[in-house]
Structure 1
Protein backbone atom coordinates (compact mmCIF):
# COMPACT_ATOMS: atom_id res chain seq x y z
CA UNK A 1 0.00 0.00 0.00
CA UNK A 2 1.26 3.48 -0.91
CA UNK A 3 1.47 5.51 2.32
CA UNK A 4 1.04 9.02 0.92
CA UNK A 5 -0.78 10.27 -2.16
CA UNK A 6 -0.40 13.82 -3.42
CA UNK A 7 -2.57 15.08 -6.27
CA UNK A 8 -1.32 18.16 -8.11
CA UNK A 9 -3.70 20.07 -10.37
CA UNK A 10 -4.33 23.42 -11.95
CA UNK A 11 -4.78 25.18 -15.26
CA UNK A 12 -1.05 25.25 -16.04
CA UNK A 13 0.22 21.89 -17.27
CA UNK A 14 3.85 23.02 -17.26
CA UNK A 15 3.60 24.01 -13.60
CA UNK A 16 2.00 20.75 -12.46
CA UNK A 17 4.61 18.67 -14.29
CA UNK A 18 7.52 20.82 -13.09
CA UNK A 19 6.48 20.59 -9.44
CA UNK A 20 5.88 16.84 -9.67
CA UNK A 21 9.32 16.34 -11.19
CA UNK A 22 10.89 18.45 -8.43
CA UNK A 23 9.25 16.57 -5.57
CA UNK A 24 9.93 13.19 -7.16
CA UNK A 25 13.68 13.93 -7.22
CA UNK A 26 13.69 12.78 -3.60
CA UNK A 27 14.11 9.04 -2.86
CA UNK A 28 10.91 7.04 -2.22
CA UNK A 29 8.80 9.75 -3.84
CA UNK A 30 7.64 8.88 -7.35
CA UNK A 31 5.47 10.44 -10.02
CA UNK A 32 3.78 8.92 -13.05
CA UNK A 33 2.45 10.27 -16.36
CA UNK A 34 -0.89 12.08 -16.35
CA UNK A 35 -3.76 9.73 -15.56
CA UNK A 36 -7.05 11.24 -16.71
CA UNK A 37 -8.34 7.67 -17.09
CA UNK A 38 -8.23 7.06 -13.32
CA UNK A 39 -11.53 8.88 -12.76
CA UNK A 40 -13.49 6.43 -14.90
CA UNK A 41 -11.63 3.57 -13.29
CA UNK A 42 -12.31 4.72 -9.72
CA UNK A 43 -15.98 5.52 -10.41
CA UNK A 44 -16.75 1.88 -11.12
CA UNK A 45 -16.99 0.98 -7.44
CA UNK A 46 -14.73 0.22 -4.52
CA UNK A 47 -15.98 -3.36 -4.20
CA UNK A 48 -13.85 -6.31 -5.21
CA UNK A 49 -14.40 -7.16 -8.86
CA UNK A 50 -15.04 -10.70 -10.13
CA UNK A 51 -12.95 -12.03 -13.02
CA UNK A 52 -15.47 -11.09 -15.74
CA UNK A 53 -15.66 -7.46 -14.57
CA UNK A 54 -11.90 -7.26 -14.11
CA UNK A 55 -11.41 -8.24 -17.76
CA UNK A 56 -13.88 -5.57 -18.91
CA UNK A 57 -12.18 -2.92 -16.78
CA UNK A 58 -8.76 -3.80 -18.17
CA UNK A 59 -10.07 -3.88 -21.75
CA UNK A 60 -11.42 -0.31 -21.42
CA UNK A 61 -8.23 0.79 -19.73
CA UNK A 62 -5.91 -0.65 -22.38
CA UNK A 63 -7.89 1.14 -25.12
CA UNK A 64 -7.56 4.55 -23.46
CA UNK A 65 -4.93 6.61 -25.29
CA UNK A 66 -3.87 8.27 -22.03
CA UNK A 67 -3.03 4.87 -20.59
CA UNK A 68 -0.99 4.07 -23.70
CA UNK A 69 1.35 6.93 -22.77
CA UNK A 70 2.40 4.82 -19.77
CA UNK A 71 3.45 1.97 -22.05
CA UNK A 72 6.73 3.68 -22.97
CA UNK A 73 8.12 2.47 -19.64
CA UNK A 74 9.97 -0.83 -20.28
CA UNK A 75 8.38 -3.92 -18.71
CA UNK A 76 5.55 -1.86 -17.19
CA UNK A 77 2.68 -3.65 -18.92
CA UNK A 78 4.00 -7.16 -18.24
CA UNK A 79 4.52 -6.36 -14.56
CA UNK A 80 1.10 -4.73 -14.29
CA UNK A 81 -0.74 -7.64 -15.94
CA UNK A 82 1.04 -10.09 -13.66
CA UNK A 83 -0.12 -8.22 -10.54
CA UNK A 84 -3.78 -7.95 -11.56
CA UNK A 85 -5.84 -10.77 -10.12
CA UNK A 86 -9.64 -11.21 -9.83
CA UNK A 87 -10.93 -9.88 -6.53
CA UNK A 88 -9.13 -6.53 -6.59
CA UNK A 89 -11.11 -3.29 -6.31
CA UNK A 90 -10.68 -0.49 -8.87
CA UNK A 91 -8.72 1.46 -6.24
CA UNK A 92 -6.34 -1.47 -5.75
CA UNK A 93 -5.94 -1.85 -9.51
CA UNK A 94 -4.81 1.78 -9.70
CA UNK A 95 -2.30 1.30 -6.89
CA UNK A 96 -0.89 -1.81 -8.56
CA UNK A 97 -0.58 0.20 -11.76
CA UNK A 98 1.45 2.89 -9.99
CA UNK A 99 3.78 0.43 -8.25
CA UNK A 100 4.30 -1.43 -11.55
CA UNK A 101 5.26 1.80 -13.30
CA UNK A 102 7.61 2.87 -10.51
CA UNK A 103 9.27 -0.53 -10.32
CA UNK A 104 8.51 -0.77 -6.62
CA UNK A 105 5.89 0.55 -4.25
CA UNK A 106 6.88 4.14 -3.43
CA UNK A 107 6.34 5.68 -0.02
CA UNK A 108 4.70 8.67 -1.70
CA UNK A 109 2.98 8.80 -5.08
CA UNK A 110 2.51 12.13 -6.85
CA UNK A 111 -0.10 12.40 -9.59
CA UNK A 112 0.14 15.62 -11.62
CA UNK A 113 -2.97 15.31 -13.80
CA UNK A 114 -4.21 18.91 -14.31
CA UNK A 115 -7.91 18.12 -13.76
CA UNK A 116 -7.18 16.74 -10.28
CA UNK A 117 -8.07 20.15 -8.89
CA UNK A 118 -11.51 19.91 -10.49
CA UNK A 119 -12.12 16.58 -8.80
CA UNK A 120 -10.84 17.15 -5.26
CA UNK A 121 -14.12 16.13 -3.61
CA UNK A 122 -14.28 12.79 -5.45
CA UNK A 123 -10.57 11.94 -5.03
CA UNK A 124 -10.67 12.89 -1.36
CA UNK A 125 -13.56 10.46 -0.80
CA UNK A 126 -11.65 7.65 -2.49
CA UNK A 127 -8.32 8.51 -0.84
CA UNK A 128 -9.15 10.24 2.49
CA UNK A 129 -5.48 10.39 3.47
CA UNK A 130 -4.43 12.26 0.31
CA UNK A 131 -3.21 15.87 -0.02
CA UNK A 132 -3.71 18.29 -2.91
CA UNK A 133 -1.67 21.07 -4.47
CA UNK A 134 -3.29 23.82 -6.50
CA UNK A 135 -0.82 25.36 -8.96
CA UNK A 136 -1.70 28.96 -9.84
CA UNK A 137 -0.02 30.88 -12.66
CA UNK A 138 -0.62 34.29 -14.20
CA UNK A 139 -3.50 33.68 -16.60
CA UNK A 140 -1.86 35.74 -19.33
CA UNK A 141 1.18 33.44 -19.19
CA UNK A 142 -1.14 30.43 -19.34
CA UNK A 143 -2.86 31.89 -22.40
CA UNK A 144 0.48 32.46 -24.15
CA UNK A 145 1.51 28.89 -23.31
CA UNK A 146 -1.68 27.10 -24.35
CA UNK A 147 -2.55 28.99 -27.56
CA UNK A 148 -0.07 27.15 -29.84
CA UNK A 149 -0.93 23.71 -28.43
CA UNK A 150 -3.28 21.13 -30.03
CA UNK A 151 -5.61 21.15 -27.01
CA UNK A 152 -7.31 23.95 -25.10
CA UNK A 153 -8.24 27.40 -26.40
CA UNK A 154 -6.29 28.90 -29.28
CA UNK A 155 -7.34 32.52 -28.77
CA UNK A 156 -6.67 34.79 -25.82
CA UNK A 157 -10.36 35.68 -25.57
CA UNK A 158 -11.37 32.08 -24.90
CA UNK A 159 -8.24 31.37 -22.85
CA UNK A 160 -9.37 33.98 -20.30
CA UNK A 161 -12.63 32.12 -19.57
CA UNK A 162 -10.83 28.76 -19.68
CA UNK A 163 -8.29 29.94 -17.07
CA UNK A 164 -10.91 31.56 -14.81
CA UNK A 165 -13.11 28.44 -14.87
CA UNK A 166 -10.27 26.19 -13.77
CA UNK A 167 -8.74 28.35 -11.05
CA UNK A 168 -12.20 28.78 -9.53
CA UNK A 169 -12.26 25.04 -8.77
CA UNK A 170 -8.93 25.32 -7.02
CA UNK A 171 -10.01 28.32 -4.95
CA UNK A 172 -13.20 26.54 -3.92
CA UNK A 173 -11.22 23.46 -2.87
CA UNK A 174 -8.83 25.60 -0.84
CA UNK A 175 -11.75 27.11 1.04
CA UNK A 176 -13.52 23.78 1.59
CA UNK A 177 -10.46 21.82 2.76
CA UNK A 178 -7.79 24.29 3.94
CA UNK A 179 -5.87 21.54 5.74
CA UNK A 180 -5.75 19.34 2.64
CA UNK A 181 -5.39 21.71 -0.32
CA UNK A 182 -2.31 23.91 -0.62
CA UNK A 183 -1.75 26.66 -3.16
CA UNK A 184 1.60 27.05 -4.91
CA UNK A 185 2.39 29.96 -7.20
CA UNK A 186 4.25 29.01 -10.37
CA UNK A 187 6.11 32.30 -10.17
CA UNK A 188 7.28 31.55 -6.61
CA UNK A 189 8.34 28.05 -7.63
CA UNK A 190 10.54 29.47 -10.40
CA UNK A 191 11.81 32.62 -8.68
CA UNK A 192 12.31 31.17 -5.20
CA UNK A 193 12.27 27.37 -5.52
CA UNK A 194 14.07 26.44 -2.30
CA UNK A 195 11.85 28.41 0.08
CA UNK A 196 8.72 27.37 -1.84
CA UNK A 197 9.63 23.68 -1.67
CA UNK A 198 10.66 23.88 2.00
CA UNK A 199 7.31 25.38 2.96
CA UNK A 200 5.38 22.94 0.78
CA UNK A 201 7.20 19.87 2.14
CA UNK A 202 6.45 21.00 5.68
CA UNK A 203 2.73 21.30 4.86
CA UNK A 204 2.71 17.92 3.12
CA UNK A 205 4.70 16.25 5.89
CA UNK A 206 7.38 14.96 3.52
CA UNK A 207 11.12 15.39 3.89
CA UNK A 208 12.74 18.15 1.85
CA UNK A 209 15.72 17.06 -0.24
CA UNK A 210 18.08 19.48 -1.97
CA UNK A 211 17.93 17.25 -5.06
CA UNK A 212 14.40 18.55 -5.60
CA UNK A 213 15.90 21.76 -6.96
CA UNK A 214 17.20 19.86 -9.98
CA UNK A 215 13.66 18.99 -11.04
CA UNK A 216 14.87 15.75 -12.58
CA UNK A 217 12.60 13.24 -10.85
CA UNK A 218 10.44 12.44 -13.85
CA UNK A 219 11.34 11.23 -17.34
CA UNK A 220 8.82 12.77 -19.68
CA UNK A 221 6.90 10.52 -22.10
CA UNK A 222 7.55 11.41 -25.74
CA UNK A 223 3.87 12.36 -26.11
CA UNK A 224 4.29 15.38 -23.79
CA UNK A 225 8.05 16.02 -24.00
CA UNK A 226 7.81 18.88 -26.48
CA UNK A 227 5.35 20.98 -24.47
CA UNK A 228 7.28 20.43 -21.20
CA UNK A 229 10.74 21.18 -22.56
CA UNK A 230 11.83 23.00 -19.37
CA UNK A 231 11.15 20.08 -17.02
CA UNK A 232 14.40 18.60 -15.74
CA UNK A 233 16.28 21.80 -16.54
CA UNK A 234 17.03 24.94 -14.58
CA UNK A 235 14.04 27.22 -15.19
CA UNK A 236 15.14 30.85 -15.32
CA UNK A 237 13.10 33.58 -13.69
CA UNK A 238 13.22 35.56 -16.95
CA UNK A 239 10.90 32.94 -18.47
CA UNK A 240 8.11 33.90 -16.06
CA UNK A 241 7.28 37.06 -18.03
CA UNK A 242 7.80 35.78 -21.56
CA UNK A 243 4.05 36.15 -22.10
CA UNK A 244 4.59 39.91 -22.44
CA UNK A 245 6.48 39.24 -25.68
CA UNK A 246 4.31 36.38 -26.93
CA UNK A 247 0.97 38.16 -26.56
CA UNK A 248 0.08 41.30 -28.45
CA UNK A 249 -0.87 44.40 -26.49
CA UNK A 250 -4.47 43.98 -27.63
CA UNK A 251 -4.52 40.35 -26.52
CA UNK A 252 -3.34 41.38 -23.06
CA UNK A 253 -6.00 44.09 -22.92
CA UNK A 254 -8.74 41.63 -23.89
CA UNK A 255 -7.61 39.12 -21.27
CA UNK A 256 -7.56 41.80 -18.57
CA UNK A 257 -10.95 43.13 -19.69
CA UNK A 258 -12.51 39.69 -19.18
CA UNK A 259 -10.86 38.52 -15.95
CA UNK A 260 -8.80 41.44 -14.66
CA UNK A 261 -10.48 41.31 -11.26
CA UNK A 262 -9.48 37.67 -10.82
CA UNK A 263 -5.90 38.39 -11.88
CA UNK A 264 -5.71 41.18 -9.32
CA UNK A 265 -7.09 38.95 -6.55
CA UNK A 266 -4.10 36.64 -7.07
CA UNK A 267 -1.75 39.61 -6.85
CA UNK A 268 -0.94 39.93 -10.55
CA UNK A 269 -0.40 43.48 -11.79
CA UNK A 270 -2.63 44.67 -14.64
CA UNK A 271 -0.95 46.46 -17.54
CA UNK A 272 -3.98 48.36 -18.83
CA UNK A 273 -5.91 51.02 -16.91
CA UNK A 274 -8.61 51.17 -19.58
CA UNK A 275 -9.71 47.80 -20.89
CA UNK A 276 -12.14 47.17 -23.74
CA UNK A 277 -13.69 43.84 -24.66
CA UNK A 278 -13.61 42.76 -28.34
CA UNK A 279 -15.92 44.55 -30.73
CA UNK A 280 -18.34 42.56 -32.87
CA UNK A 281 -15.92 42.44 -35.81
CA UNK A 282 -13.16 41.18 -33.50
CA UNK A 283 -15.42 38.51 -32.00
CA UNK A 284 -16.33 37.18 -35.45
CA UNK A 285 -12.63 36.82 -36.24
CA UNK A 286 -11.95 35.19 -32.84
CA UNK A 287 -14.67 32.58 -33.28
CA UNK A 288 -13.55 31.88 -36.85
CA UNK A 289 -10.00 31.31 -35.59
CA UNK A 290 -11.21 28.92 -32.89
CA UNK A 291 -13.15 26.90 -35.49
CA UNK A 292 -10.15 26.81 -37.81
CA UNK A 293 -7.78 25.66 -35.06
CA UNK A 294 -10.30 23.08 -33.85
CA UNK A 295 -10.07 21.35 -37.23
CA UNK A 296 -6.27 21.64 -37.32
CA UNK A 297 -5.95 20.36 -33.76
CA UNK A 298 -8.14 17.35 -34.50
CA UNK A 299 -5.75 16.37 -37.27
CA UNK A 300 -2.69 17.02 -35.08
CA UNK A 301 -4.17 14.89 -32.31
CA UNK A 302 -4.79 11.97 -34.70
CA UNK A 303 -1.19 12.15 -35.89
CA UNK A 304 0.15 12.11 -32.32
CA UNK A 305 -2.03 9.11 -31.47
CA UNK A 306 -0.42 7.06 -34.22
CA UNK A 307 2.94 7.43 -32.49
CA UNK A 308 1.71 5.83 -29.27
CA UNK A 309 2.55 2.17 -28.50
Structure 2
Protein backbone atom coordinates (compact mmCIF):
# COMPACT_ATOMS: atom_id res chain seq x y z
CA UNK A 1 0.00 0.00 0.00
CA UNK A 2 1.42 3.41 -1.01
CA UNK A 3 1.37 5.88 1.87
CA UNK A 4 1.07 9.57 1.01
CA UNK A 5 1.78 12.29 3.57
CA UNK A 6 0.50 15.79 4.22
CA UNK A 7 1.36 18.36 6.87
CA UNK A 8 -0.84 21.11 8.27
CA UNK A 9 1.30 23.94 9.61
CA UNK A 10 1.40 27.70 10.01
CA UNK A 11 0.78 30.14 12.81
CA UNK A 12 -1.15 28.71 15.73
CA UNK A 13 -4.75 29.87 16.20
CA UNK A 14 -5.16 30.26 12.43
CA UNK A 15 -7.41 27.24 11.93
CA UNK A 16 -4.84 24.45 11.72
CA UNK A 17 -6.75 22.23 14.15
CA UNK A 18 -10.04 22.90 12.38
CA UNK A 19 -8.86 21.83 8.93
CA UNK A 20 -6.97 18.83 10.33
CA UNK A 21 -10.12 17.68 12.14
CA UNK A 22 -12.21 18.08 8.99
CA UNK A 23 -9.73 16.11 6.88
CA UNK A 24 -9.44 13.42 9.57
CA UNK A 25 -13.05 12.49 8.87
CA UNK A 26 -12.02 11.38 5.36
CA UNK A 27 -12.08 7.57 5.07
CA UNK A 28 -8.54 7.48 3.60
CA UNK A 29 -6.90 9.77 6.17
CA UNK A 30 -5.07 8.86 9.35
CA UNK A 31 -4.41 11.73 11.75
CA UNK A 32 -2.69 11.42 15.14
CA UNK A 33 -4.80 13.69 17.32
CA UNK A 34 -1.82 15.45 18.84
CA UNK A 35 0.92 17.82 17.76
CA UNK A 36 3.87 15.49 17.34
CA UNK A 37 6.68 18.04 16.76
CA UNK A 38 8.43 15.12 15.07
CA UNK A 39 10.71 17.18 12.84
CA UNK A 40 12.21 19.16 15.68
CA UNK A 41 13.91 15.96 16.82
CA UNK A 42 17.38 14.58 16.07
CA UNK A 43 17.14 13.12 12.57
CA UNK A 44 17.28 9.39 13.43
CA UNK A 45 14.66 9.91 16.15
CA UNK A 46 12.52 12.04 13.85
CA UNK A 47 12.53 9.36 11.16
CA UNK A 48 11.81 6.61 13.68
CA UNK A 49 8.79 8.47 15.00
CA UNK A 50 7.64 9.29 11.48
CA UNK A 51 7.94 5.57 10.64
CA UNK A 52 5.77 4.78 13.68
CA UNK A 53 3.12 7.21 12.42
CA UNK A 54 3.16 5.53 9.01
CA UNK A 55 2.90 2.12 10.63
CA UNK A 56 -0.10 3.28 12.66
CA UNK A 57 -1.74 4.65 9.52
CA UNK A 58 -1.17 1.40 7.65
CA UNK A 59 -2.46 -0.58 10.61
CA UNK A 60 -5.65 1.47 10.46
CA UNK A 61 -6.01 0.66 6.75
CA UNK A 62 -5.41 4.26 5.65
CA UNK A 63 -3.51 5.47 2.61
CA UNK A 64 -2.90 9.09 3.65
CA UNK A 65 -1.01 10.21 6.76
CA UNK A 66 -1.87 13.72 7.89
CA UNK A 67 0.10 15.44 10.64
CA UNK A 68 -0.71 18.78 12.29
CA UNK A 69 1.93 20.71 14.17
CA UNK A 70 1.72 24.48 13.53
CA UNK A 71 5.39 24.97 14.47
CA UNK A 72 6.45 22.68 11.61
CA UNK A 73 6.21 25.83 9.47
CA UNK A 74 9.76 26.35 10.75
CA UNK A 75 10.87 22.95 9.47
CA UNK A 76 9.34 22.82 5.99
CA UNK A 77 12.71 22.54 4.24
CA UNK A 78 13.78 19.72 6.51
CA UNK A 79 10.52 17.86 6.01
CA UNK A 80 10.93 18.14 2.25
CA UNK A 81 14.35 16.51 2.48
CA UNK A 82 13.24 13.71 4.80
CA UNK A 83 9.76 13.04 3.37
CA UNK A 84 9.93 13.26 -0.43
CA UNK A 85 6.56 14.01 -1.99
CA UNK A 86 5.05 15.52 1.16
CA UNK A 87 2.44 18.23 0.72
CA UNK A 88 1.76 21.17 3.00
CA UNK A 89 -1.54 22.85 3.85
CA UNK A 90 -1.06 26.28 5.43
CA UNK A 91 -4.02 28.27 6.73
CA UNK A 92 -3.65 31.99 7.32
CA UNK A 93 -5.97 34.21 9.35
CA UNK A 94 -6.43 37.92 9.97
CA UNK A 95 -3.52 38.92 12.17
CA UNK A 96 -5.76 41.03 14.36
CA UNK A 97 -7.88 38.03 15.34
CA UNK A 98 -4.89 35.71 15.74
CA UNK A 99 -2.93 38.12 17.92
CA UNK A 100 -6.02 38.73 20.07
CA UNK A 101 -6.48 34.96 20.48
CA UNK A 102 -2.80 34.20 21.07
CA UNK A 103 -2.43 37.04 23.55
CA UNK A 104 -5.23 35.59 25.62
CA UNK A 105 -3.56 32.19 25.51
CA UNK A 106 0.04 33.30 26.08
CA UNK A 107 -0.61 36.24 28.36
CA UNK A 108 1.80 38.39 26.33
CA UNK A 109 0.49 40.51 23.42
CA UNK A 110 4.03 41.32 22.23
CA UNK A 111 4.91 37.62 21.99
CA UNK A 112 1.63 36.96 20.16
CA UNK A 113 2.40 39.71 17.65
CA UNK A 114 5.95 38.45 17.05
CA UNK A 115 4.68 34.92 16.53
CA UNK A 116 2.08 35.94 13.95
CA UNK A 117 4.63 38.00 12.02
CA UNK A 118 7.43 35.43 12.16
CA UNK A 119 5.32 32.39 11.26
CA UNK A 120 3.36 34.07 8.50
CA UNK A 121 6.50 35.48 6.93
CA UNK A 122 7.53 31.83 6.51
CA UNK A 123 4.11 30.98 5.04
CA UNK A 124 4.33 33.84 2.56
CA UNK A 125 7.78 32.68 1.46
CA UNK A 126 6.18 29.37 0.40
CA UNK A 127 3.38 30.86 -1.71
CA UNK A 128 4.88 29.83 -5.05
CA UNK A 129 5.90 26.32 -3.99
CA UNK A 130 4.01 23.62 -5.92
CA UNK A 131 3.77 21.38 -2.85
CA UNK A 132 2.09 24.09 -0.75
CA UNK A 133 -1.53 25.22 -0.56
CA UNK A 134 -2.25 28.43 1.35
CA UNK A 135 -5.83 29.45 2.10
CA UNK A 136 -7.54 31.96 4.36
CA UNK A 137 -9.51 30.91 7.43
CA UNK A 138 -12.11 33.54 6.56
CA UNK A 139 -12.72 31.94 3.15
CA UNK A 140 -13.24 28.57 4.82
CA UNK A 141 -15.84 30.12 7.13
CA UNK A 142 -17.53 31.84 4.20
CA UNK A 143 -17.64 28.88 1.82
CA UNK A 144 -16.47 25.68 3.55
CA UNK A 145 -17.42 23.26 0.76
CA UNK A 146 -15.40 25.18 -1.83
CA UNK A 147 -12.28 25.45 0.31
CA UNK A 148 -12.37 21.86 1.58
CA UNK A 149 -12.90 20.57 -1.96
CA UNK A 150 -9.91 22.64 -3.10
CA UNK A 151 -7.74 21.20 -0.33
CA UNK A 152 -8.87 17.65 -1.09
CA UNK A 153 -7.98 18.16 -4.74
CA UNK A 154 -4.55 19.43 -3.78
CA UNK A 155 -3.97 16.36 -1.58
CA UNK A 156 -5.40 13.97 -4.21
CA UNK A 157 -8.23 12.99 -1.90
CA UNK A 158 -11.82 12.51 -2.99
CA UNK A 159 -14.23 15.19 -1.81
CA UNK A 160 -17.61 14.62 -0.22
CA UNK A 161 -19.85 17.12 1.53
CA UNK A 162 -19.96 14.56 4.36
CA UNK A 163 -16.56 15.92 5.43
CA UNK A 164 -18.34 19.03 6.69
CA UNK A 165 -20.20 16.83 9.19
CA UNK A 166 -16.90 16.03 10.94
CA UNK A 167 -18.35 17.26 14.25
CA UNK A 168 -20.79 14.34 14.38
CA UNK A 169 -17.85 12.15 15.38
CA UNK A 170 -16.18 14.11 18.23
CA UNK A 171 -12.43 13.77 18.68
CA UNK A 172 -10.22 14.24 21.73
CA UNK A 173 -7.49 16.63 20.63
CA UNK A 174 -6.15 18.50 23.60
CA UNK A 175 -5.37 16.20 26.49
CA UNK A 176 -5.88 17.82 29.90
CA UNK A 177 -2.70 18.41 31.89
CA UNK A 178 -2.30 18.34 35.64
CA UNK A 179 -2.33 22.13 35.92
CA UNK A 180 -5.89 23.38 36.28
CA UNK A 181 -5.56 26.23 33.78
CA UNK A 182 -4.26 23.78 31.16
CA UNK A 183 -7.17 21.44 31.90
CA UNK A 184 -9.60 24.28 31.30
CA UNK A 185 -7.83 25.22 28.07
CA UNK A 186 -7.89 21.63 26.80
CA UNK A 187 -11.58 21.27 27.56
CA UNK A 188 -12.39 24.55 25.81
CA UNK A 189 -10.38 23.69 22.71
CA UNK A 190 -11.95 20.25 22.42
CA UNK A 191 -15.37 21.85 22.71
CA UNK A 192 -14.50 24.32 19.95
CA UNK A 193 -13.15 21.84 17.40
CA UNK A 194 -16.02 19.41 17.88
CA UNK A 195 -18.62 21.98 16.84
CA UNK A 196 -19.66 22.90 13.28
CA UNK A 197 -17.35 25.48 11.69
CA UNK A 198 -17.30 28.46 14.01
CA UNK A 199 -17.17 32.02 12.73
CA UNK A 200 -14.39 33.59 14.76
CA UNK A 201 -13.99 36.67 12.58
CA UNK A 202 -13.82 40.08 14.18
CA UNK A 203 -12.95 39.18 17.77
CA UNK A 204 -10.14 41.73 17.60
CA UNK A 205 -12.67 44.58 17.69
CA UNK A 206 -13.20 44.03 21.41
CA UNK A 207 -10.06 42.12 22.42
CA UNK A 208 -7.03 43.62 20.63
CA UNK A 209 -4.90 46.34 22.20
CA UNK A 210 -4.25 49.54 20.30
CA UNK A 211 -0.49 49.00 20.15
CA UNK A 212 -0.88 45.59 18.48
CA UNK A 213 -3.54 46.93 16.13
CA UNK A 214 -1.24 49.73 15.03
CA UNK A 215 1.66 47.33 14.48
CA UNK A 216 -0.52 45.18 12.23
CA UNK A 217 -2.13 47.97 10.21
CA UNK A 218 0.67 50.54 10.08
CA UNK A 219 3.84 48.91 11.36
CA UNK A 220 5.78 45.65 11.09
CA UNK A 221 2.79 43.48 10.32
CA UNK A 222 1.31 45.66 7.58
CA UNK A 223 3.15 44.04 4.61
CA UNK A 224 1.90 40.59 5.64
CA UNK A 225 -1.63 41.86 6.27
CA UNK A 226 -1.60 43.37 2.80
CA UNK A 227 -0.13 40.26 1.18
CA UNK A 228 -2.92 38.08 2.54
CA UNK A 229 -5.64 40.62 1.74
CA UNK A 230 -6.51 41.87 5.21
CA UNK A 231 -5.67 45.57 4.80
TM-score above 0.5, yes or no: yes
Decide whether aligned partners of structure 1 residues 112 and 225 sit closer, same or farther in structure 2, where only a CA change above 3 A counts: farther
Decide whether aligned partners of structure 1 residues 13 and 5 sit closer, same or farther in structure 2, where only a CA change above 3 A counts: farther
Show the 5 A alignment for 1:178-193.
178-193=129-144
Structure 2, unaligned stretches of length 5 or more?
177-185
Structure 1, unaligned stretches of length 5 or more?
45-56, 58-89, 270-309
Decide whether aligned partners of structure 1 residues 37 and 91 sit closer, same or farther in structure 2, where only a CA change above 3 A counts: closer
Counterpart of 2:130 in 1: which secondary structure?
A: coil
Aligned residues: 218
Per the TM alignment, residue 158 of structure 1 is displaced from its structure 2 partner at its CA by: 3.8
| Contact 1:12–1:136 (8 Å) recurs in 2 | no
Counterpart of 1:135 in 2: which secondary structure?
A: strand
Match of residue 231, structure 1, among 193, 205, 221: 193
Show the 5 A alignment for 1:244-263.
244-258=205-219, 259-263=221-225
Distance in structure 1 (CA, Å) of the matches to 2:98 and 2:2:
33
Counterpart of 1:214 in 2: which secondary structure?
A: helix
Residues 53-85 of structure 1: per-residue CA shift (max 9 Å, x gap): xxxx6xxxxxxxxxxxxxxxxxxxxxxxxxxxx
Distance in structure 2 (CA, Å) of the matches to 1:112 and 1:225:
19
Residues 91-118 of structure 1: per-residue CA shift (max 9 Å, x gap): 3542324543886242111111002222
Match of residue 86, structure 2, among 106, 109, 130: 130
| Contact 1:8–1:113 (8 Å) recurs in 2 | yes
Distance in structure 2 (CA, Å) of the matches to 1:251 and 1:160:
7
Distance in structure 1 (CA, Å) of the matches to 2:80 and 2:223:
30
Q: 1:139 and 2:140 equivalent?
A: no
Show the 5 A alignment for 1:188-199.
188-199=139-150
Q: 1:36 and 2:67 equivalent?
A: no
Counterpart of 1:109 in 2: which secondary structure?
A: strand
Distance in structure 1 (CA, Å) of the matches to 2:152 and 2:137:
16
Q: TM-score, normalised by structure 1?
A: 0.64
Decide whether aligned partners of structure 1 residues 148 and 228 sit closer, same or farther in structure 2, where only a CA change above 3 A counts: farther
Decide whether aligned partners of structure 1 residues 97 and 164 sit closer, same or farther in structure 2, where only a CA change above 3 A counts: same
Distance in structure 1 (CA, Å) of the matches to 2:130 and 2:189:
32
Distance in structure 2 (CA, Å) of the matches to 1:103 and 1:200:
25
Aligned to 1:94: 50
Aligned to 2:179: none
- Bigger radius of gyration among the two: 1
Q: TM-score, normalised by structure 2?
A: 0.83
Show the 5 A alignment for 1:156-175.
157-175=110-128
| Contact 1:214–1:233 (8 Å) recurs in 2 | no
Alignment RMSD: 2.4
